[in-house]
């Protein structure tokens, strides 16, 4: 409660940074100030709490899959570590700590690519969007009546687009030059916003998406800066069972964490 009120005060005094200004809460405060939302201060505080709680399952599942892929792909792990170390040296405050600027996509593109490849290969939420149409609709010559229910499912799309090596963990697929090379081809469908993450888009986008994404980035970055991670006795993510716990989560095998030298 007090955190939300403090955030509101900082918003009203123009003290938020760029990331905070883009947050759900900042936009909710603006909508409330403009009138017409019908949401009280108390309700906004309650909604904020729900958003934080709802993001926990998605974040923990996403982070678990990321840790597994990082542990299985040592070359990827070292490349992320090198990128983060360089970013801290060039954008940090000099104390060796992570800062908000480091998580800009232009500063750490490979870290973002790792998260995107994890979602493609082992999505915590494979069904990314649901839509019931209010009138008849025609798609590629096929007519669907009013009330038809559509689901965007990203896993099979990622398998089809990268059929030659779909089970390989290759974050390079999501670097700018790779995305540019797919533009204008059938493979570009995988770059559509609906397939980018498990949060949907537009007015129905998960309001906790930014919380979940930021938490995953920060936690993964700090873990990789502090530890070398491996998973002895496991050669592929396909060997690891998983279960549904709000989201699809791996049953992680025993992992080894070795401190990195300072």
Residue 202 per-residue DSSP state: G
- Secondary structure tally for the chain: helices H, strands E: 9, 8
- 262 has pLDDT over 60: no
pLDDT band (50, 70, 90) for residue 126 = confident
**Predicted local confidence at residue 74, as pLDDT:** 97
φ, ψ (nearest 5 deg) of residue 108: -130, 65
Mean pLDDT of the chain: 86
Question: What is residue 41's predicted lDDT score, i.e. its pLDDT?
Answer: 78
Q: What is the pLDDT of residue 257?
A: 96
Residue 188 near residue 173 (C-beta atoms within 8 A): no
pLDDT category of residue 251 using cuts at 50, 70 and 90: very high
Alpha helix locations (H) across the chain? 2-12, 18-21, 24-34, 41-72, 74-91, 109-121, 154-161, 176-182, 209-226
pTM: 0.73
Q: How confident is the model at residue 216 (pLDDT cuts 50, 70, 90)?
A: confident
Q: By the 8 A CB rule, do 250 and 123 touch?
A: no
- β-strand 149-153 against 127-132: which pairing, if any? antiparallel
How high is the pLDDT of residue 1?
63
Nearest to 110 by CA among 258, 241, 224: 224
Q: Where residue 52 falls among pLDDT bands split at 50, 70, 90?
A: low
Residue 94: predicted pLDDT: 63
Q: Which one is predicted more confidently, 20 or 199?
A: 20
Is residue 245 predicted with pLDDT exceeding 70? no
Do strands 242-245 and 227-230 pair parallel, antiparallel, or not at all (unpaired)?
unpaired
């Amino acid at each position: 409660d007090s955190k939300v009120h403090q955030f509101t005060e900082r918003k009203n005094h123009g003290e938020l940074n760029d990331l905070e200004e883009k947050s759900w809460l900042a936009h909710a405060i603006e909508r409330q100030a403009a009138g017409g939302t019908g949401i009280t201060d108390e309700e906004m505080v309650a909604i904020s709490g729900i958003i934080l709680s709802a993001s926990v399952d998605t974040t923990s599942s996403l982070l678990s899959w990321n840790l597994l892929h990082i542990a299985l792909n040592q070359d990827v792990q070292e490349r992320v570590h090198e990128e983060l170390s360089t970013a801290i040296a060039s954008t940090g405050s000099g104390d060796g700590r992570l800062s908000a600027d480091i998580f800009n996509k232009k500063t750490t593109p490979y870290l973002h690519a790792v998260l995107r490849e994890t979602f493609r290969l082992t999505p915590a939420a494979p069904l990314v969007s649901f839509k019931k149409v209010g009138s008849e609709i025609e798609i590629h010559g096929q007519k669907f009546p009013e009330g038809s229910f559509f689901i965007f499912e990203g896993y099979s799309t990622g398998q089809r687009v990268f059929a030659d090596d779909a089970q390989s963990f290759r974050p390079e697929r999501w670097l700018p030059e790779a995305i540019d090379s797919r533009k204008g081809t059938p493979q570009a469908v995988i770059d559509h916003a609906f397939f980018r993450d498990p949060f949907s888009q537009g007015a129905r986008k998960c309001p906790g998406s930014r919380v979940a994404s930021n938490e995953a980035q920060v936690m993964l970055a700090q873990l990789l800066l502090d530890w070398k991670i491996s998973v002895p006795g496991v050669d592929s993510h396909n060997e690891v069972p998983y279960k549904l716990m709000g989201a699809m989560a791996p049953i992680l095998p025993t992992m080894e964490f070795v401190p990195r030298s300072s």
